Structure 1
Amino acid sequence: MDQEPLFAHTLFQLGPVVVRDTTLTTWLLMLALWLFAWAAMRRLRGPAEGSPGLFQTAVEGMILAMDDAVREVLPRHADQVRPFILTLWIFLVTANLIGLIPGLHSPTRDPSATAALAVLVFLSVHWFGIRSQGLRSYLRHYLSPSPILLPFHLISEITRTLALAVRLFGNIMSLELVALLLVWVGGLLVPIPILMLHIIEALVQAYIFGMLALVYIASAIQTGALASDSSSSATEAEQ
């Protein structure tokens, strides 16, 4: 079996910059999402303009459902975290499902793409933690409850980032591999039930990735706050 449909391959190279099919698909996906957002904004109707259409109702329902999920985890900081998490969810859903279009493959089947997303989550966790608590208060939680645990805190940061990347890559790659094998062995009629499972699994994996990112951000914000409160209590007790 040809390996080209399964694994990302190089399209062209500009000096040291290598452009792979994953990069091209991601660019097209971002353009499509931008056009969708632009079209959705142009078709919005306010209360004074009558009842919204089916398109606006569907978009608002999707956004409200994701907003409720964010508020359940971080009710006090939902306004800060919502844009990042919702963007992550929307991108992952479309990226996981774009492989159903003939001639295209999911960017998340490429470990470099999932690693980039995991690194983005890693940086965002620390950004939101520092933004919420301040640099000193946030870094203090790595020494809590004892400085001896600092290496373990650092190891956990690395391992959970790797787990994010590997989990998403492994699940999406296995989905595409199973679908390709069934088409190759049984023809076009056999994979129809598998196609439905592909859609469900793609949605589940997008939800899990985004929810884990949300939990990590919530942990960074809350542990920073706990470390700050503990330090304040200790200072008051000494006084």
Structure 2
Amino acid sequence: MEALSVVFSIGPFAITRTVVTTWGILLVLGFGCWLATRRLSVEQPGMMQSALEGVVQAIDSAIATVLAERSTLLLPFVGTLWIFVAVANLIGLIPGLHAPTGDLSTTMALATLVFLSVHWYGIRSAGLRAYLRHYLSPSPVLLPFHILGEFSRTLALAVRLFGNIMSLEMAALLVLLVAGLLVPVPVLMLHVIEALVQAYIFGMLVLIYIAGGMQSQAEQTSTHSNKEGNKP
């Protein structure tokens, strides 16, 4: 595939077009954030600041619908992930570029970050002992199934985003090849909408996984504390 073609190598590591595109997105987002936030004003916010505040408030509201009491804690990670996936999905609209999320290696890397973040927030919420105790509940026999569920959920998250974006780009390419330039605007609009929807779904799944982990650990801690308190 063209997206997997090697651009250059760093020692034994082959740098593909997907990696270069991902680096470019990170640089653009980083520079854009620095440029947009270097002159913030409370009294007279500009158009750019107002737009950014609207985006942050929208993401914070979405997080609050799932886990209101932890929205401030989750906003940096979930918000950054949301914005990156949305931009990565849309980058395929630029001629000559392919969406990094249409490459399984990228989506697997994102899913791995989610996998680690679920455990990090779970441990941070209830402590290491309570977190590990969750995998032994209600019976230690279920430990292998809990572990298998964690890995299968991570794999499903990666494959789902990869499959949707790859099929989206292929469908748009086929329509343009068949219809030529007769229907470019509707196809592009559908591409934009679907790319944003997939980014939203990915972010909500991440948020639900993290919130579920944090809540389950809190429930385990509460149950254990109640049992300890009821002992004579």
Tell me the TM-score normalised to structure 1 length.
0.93
Q: Distance in 1 between matches of 2:209 and 2:169?
A: 28
TM-fit CA distance, 1:57: 1.5
Code of the aligned partner of 2:230: A
> Which residue of the partner structure matches residue 189 of structure 1?
182
Separation in 2 of the partners of 1:84 and 1:34? 15
Residue 176, structure 1, aligned to residue 172, structure 2: no
Indicate the SS of the match to 2:97. coil
- Between stretches 174-183 and 87-96, larger displacement belongs to 174-183
Number of aligned residues:
232
Match of 2:26 among 23, 27, 30: 30
Among candidates 148, 155, 159, match of residue 162 of structure 1: 155
- 1:10 shift after superposition: 1.4
In structure 1, distance between residues paired with 2:4 and 2:101 = 10
Specify the code of the residue in structure 1 equivalent to 2:206.
A
In the alignment, the residues of structure 2 paired with residue 65 and residue 15 of structure 1 have an alpha-carbon distance, to the nearest angstrom, of 43
Contact 2:37 2:49 in 1 (8 A): no
Q: Counterparts in 2 of 1:5-16, with a 5 A limit? A: 7-16=3-12
Query: Aligned to 2:212, which of 211, 214, 219?
Result: 219
Q: CA deviation at 1:14?
A: 2.4
How far did 1:127 drift? 0.5
Task: Name the aligned partner's letter for residue 96 of structure 2.
Answer: G
Shift of 1:186: 2.0
Counterpart position of 2:221: 228
- Matched AA of 1:63: V
Residue-by-residue CA offset, 1:14-60 (whole Å, 9 max, x unaligned): 2211100000000100000011101111242212xx3x222221111
Cα separation, 1, equivalents of 2:4 and 2:163: 14
Tell me the CA shift for residue 115 of structure 1: 0.3
Instruction: State the partner residue of 2:46.
Output: 53
User: In the aligned structure 2, how far is the partner of 1:33 from the partner of 1:136?
Assistant: 38
Among 147, 151, 158, the residue aligned to 2:140: 147
Residue 16 of structure 2 is aligned to residue 20 of structure 1 = yes
The separation in 2 between residues aligned to 1:67 and 1:191, in whole angstroms, is 34
2:135 counterpart SS class = helix
**Percent identical residues:** 58
1:74-93 to structure 2, matched below 5 A, reads: 74-93=67-86
> 1:201 aligns to what?
194
Instruction: Give structure 1 stretches of 5+ with no counterpart.
Output: none
8 Å CA contact 1:138, 1:224 repeated in 2: yes
Q: Determine which of 88, 100, 121 is the counterpart of 2:93.
A: 100
Tell me the distance in 1 between the aligned counterparts of 2:111 and 2:207: 12
The Cα shift of 1:86 comes to 0.3
Q: What TM-score results when the alignment is normalised by the length of structure 2?
A: 0.96
Instruction: Output the CA distance in 1 between the equivalents of 2:56 and 2:188.
Output: 26
| SS of equivalent residue, structure 2 residue 145 | helix
Distance in structure 2 (CA, Å) of the matches to 1:32 and 1:193: 27
Q: Distance in 1 between matches of 2:157 and 2:68?
A: 24
Output the CA distance in 2 between the equivalents of 1:55 and 1:41: 9
Q: Secondary structure at the match of 1:64?
A: helix
Q: By how many angstroms is 1:210 displaced?
A: 0.8
TM-superposed CA distance for 1:125, in Å, is 0.4
Q: CA RMSD in A?
A: 1.3
Do 2:161 and 2:202's aligned partners in 1 also have CA atoms closer than 8 Å?
Answer: yes
- 8 A contact 1:179–1:191 mirrored in 2: no
1:43-84, Cα deviation, whole Å (9 max, x unpaired): 42212xx3x222221111111010111122112222211100
